[in-house]
Amino acid sequence: MAKIDLARRAEIGREKRARTRAQILEAGTMLLAERPPEALTVDAVVEAAGVAKGTFYYHFLSVEELVAAVGAQLVESFDELMTSSRLERSDPVARLSFAFTKLLEKAIEDPLWARLVVRGAQIVTAPGRGIRTNLRADLVEAIAQGRLAVQDAELATDIVIGIWLQVVHGSLERRAAPDLGHQALDAVLRALGAADSDEPKS
């Protein structure tokens, strides 16, 4: 009789559960790109994921928990895009310009991601989230250097995020112009009354 490798069996079980959770998360992500969180149902998720309702509840206590997990994944994608390259720039206006342009490029290249961002804007840009925290820190530094006409850091943050979300939304509705990133960034810097940065924007 063959010896049962309990450790390997446990590992296979963990891998299977991780795959199933990822499957449910992916289904939730796809559905949230099409509809607002309040319209998401467990039935729709399990149908899209191809799993039983009990399997859903094994991994997520509720639709709200699934939405939160999708939001957390989306925030992580912002951080992955930004962290290392952003910190290479010492100038706060250059950092802001780089982040704005890079995230807009990502939205144009990946419409599914863009739809998720627009639908989950309150989650992604909420106070305490990395994207808002980093942006506000850059703006506070730029204000302290006398680089911005807008002196309220929270207002400046809202201006940048508001313009970015509106431009992303527009890019989903119509074909993006080749120089959309530069035009949108110019609009943001003008709205902030920003002085030129000491470093390249991209």
pLDDT in tens, 45-80: 999 999 999 999 999 999 989 888 887 787 777 767
pLDDT at 54: 93
Percent of the chain with pLDDT over 70: 84
What's the pTM value of the predicted model, to 2 decimals? Answer: 0.71
Q: How many CA atoms lie within 13 A of 179 on its CB side?
A: 4
What local confidence, expressed as pLDDT, does residue 37 receive? 81
Task: Give 80-132 pLDDT, tens digit per residue.
Answer: 766 666 677 889 999 889 888 888 888 888 888 888 888 777 666 666 666 78
The answer, yes or no, to whether residue 8 has pLDDT greater than 80, is no
